[in-house]
């Protein structure tokens, strides 16, 4: 194997596949990147048995071949080389040689025949969507994915194609996030749950462009295909929350509020709520809604804080407590200048949604306040 490439190109390829490399495994081969040449192309592959990533880059291939090299060492060396042309080859001793100007590195390699093949996927349903749109949809929901492994189904996002629309839904037991977008040329309804880890990696790889990504769904696998990159992932098994039934259809109190104004309030209040003293305790932020006025406050052993804003209010007066981080996560994902916040009783969830088109909805459960 012998090929020449620009540092920029191979670094982009490495960055695309590096997070498919296994971090904790008893199989050293999974800690490597498979490098394969084909005419004037070089393919890099990583696979941790849950997510597999292939990236193809153009290159001047002088001798065909393939090998596996430790991903961490390979990526760090490439990253620190000058921004010049790099030659990568296998020498007579089976070592991978990396040459760039006056630099020469030699790395041990592993047998490429031992590298597991990515699953072959028999696609049953598929959609195509602009990469920028999908990136935005994932950004607006991924923060609500659960990190608790005791409920594996909630560690992923529901992809639901229904009536020509894609709904992406995330839930962690305390909050829920939904983002919807219309699709073209979709004739069937289907759904699956894709791991949050996979979606985070896909978001890093996708461009913020009108280029499309094709998503193919099989029985227990999903395939994401872009121009020069392919990502295979397992799907999560289990029954996802029937989220439509979980969202209240009526409200008793509603405010129309400037998103940036209330976000700034929560940012400041959270300095008291999440203070370093008594880290094991959770101090909720209290929201008090009166006619034409909302007071946001928090008090604990560190101190106390109060913010007051004057949004449009409708309905009953209310006092209710929330985890401020959940509010901030939702507000940071919103691009609108103004939003609705809808409440029921002090034990009912808060619903944050768009005033304009209703293409996103966030639901946050309250925290019981001490009397």
Domains of the chain: 2-114 (3.10.150.10), 125-242 (3.10.150.10), 247-364 (3.10.150.10)
What confidence score (pLDDT) does residue 149 get? Answer: 85
Pairwise CA distance, residues 361 & 197, whole Å: 22
What confidence score (pLDDT) does residue 276 get? Answer: 46
C-alpha 228 chain-centroid distance: 20
288 Cβ contact partners less than 8 Å away, ≥ 6 residues apart: 294, 295, 296, 297, 317, 318, 319
Nearest residue to 202 (alpha-carbon basis) of 119, 135, 140: 135
Nearest residue to 56 (alpha-carbon basis) of 44, 68, 40, 74: 44
Tokens read off for 358: 């209703």
Nearest residue to 270 (alpha-carbon basis) of 311, 329, 350, 344: 329
Nearest residue to 195 (alpha-carbon basis) of 19, 8, 4: 19
Give the model confidence (pLDDT) of 125-161 as tens digits.
999 999 999 999 999 999 999 998 889 999 999 999 9
What confidence score (pLDDT) does residue 281 get? Answer: 54
What confidence score (pLDDT) does residue 309 get? Answer: 97
Give the model confidence (pLDDT) of 304-327 as tens digits.
999 999 999 999 999 999 999 999
Max CA-CA distance within the chain?
A: 81
Give the model confidence (pLDDT) of 183-226 as tens digits.
988 878 999 999 999 999 999 999 888 999 999 999 999 999 99
Nearest residue to 34 (alpha-carbon basis) of 51, 49, 50, 21: 21
In the predicted model, residues of the chain with pLDDT beneath 50 are: 276-277, 280
Mean pLDDT across the chain? 93
């Amino acid at each position: 194997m012998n090929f020449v490439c620009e540092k920029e190109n191979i670094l982009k390829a490495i960055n695309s596949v590096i997070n498919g490399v296994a971090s904790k495994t008893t199989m050293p081969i999974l800690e490597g990147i498979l490098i394969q040449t084909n005419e004037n192309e070089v393919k890099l592959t990583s696979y941790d048995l849950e997510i597999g990533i292939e990236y193809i880059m153009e290159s001047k291939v002088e001798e065909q071949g393939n090998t596996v090299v430790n991903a961490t060492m390979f990526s760090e060396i490439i990253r620190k080389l000058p921004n010049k042309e790099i030659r990568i080859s296998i020498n007579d001793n089976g070592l991978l040689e990396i040459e760039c100007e006056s630099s020469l590195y030699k790395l041990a390699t592993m047998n490429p025949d031992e590298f597991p093949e990515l699953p072959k996927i028999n696609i049953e349903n598929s959609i195509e969507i602009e990469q920028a749109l999908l990136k935005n949809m994932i950004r607006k929901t991924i923060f609500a994915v659960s990190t608790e492994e005791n409920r594996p189904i909630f560690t992923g996002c529901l992809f639901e194609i229904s009536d020509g629309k894609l709904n992406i839904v995330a839930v962690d037991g305390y909050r829920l996030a939904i983002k919807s977008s219309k699709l073209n040329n979709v004739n069937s309804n289907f759904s699956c749950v894709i791991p949050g880890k996979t979606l985070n990696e896909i978001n890093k790889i996708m461009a913020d462009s009108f280029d499309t990504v094709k998503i193919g769904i099989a029985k227990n696998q999903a395939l994401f295909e872009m121009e020069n990159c392919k990502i295979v992932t397992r799907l999560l098994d289990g029954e996802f929350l029937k989220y439509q039934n979980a969202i209240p259809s009526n409200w008793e109190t509603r405010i129309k509020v400037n998103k940036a104004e209330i976000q700034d309030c929560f940012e400041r209040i959270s300095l008291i709520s999440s203070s370093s003293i008594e880290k094991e305790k959770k101090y909720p932020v209290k929201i008090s809604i009166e006619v034409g006025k909302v007071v946001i406050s928090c008090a604990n052993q560190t101190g106390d804080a109060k913010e007051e804003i004057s949004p449009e209010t409708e309905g009953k007066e209310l006092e209710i407590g929330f985890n401020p981080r959940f509010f901030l996560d939702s507000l940071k994902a919103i691009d609108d200048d103004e939003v609705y916040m809808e409440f029921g009783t002090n034990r009912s969830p808060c619903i944050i949604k768009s005033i304009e088109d209703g293409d996103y909805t966030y639901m946050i459960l309250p925290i019981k306040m001490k009397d």
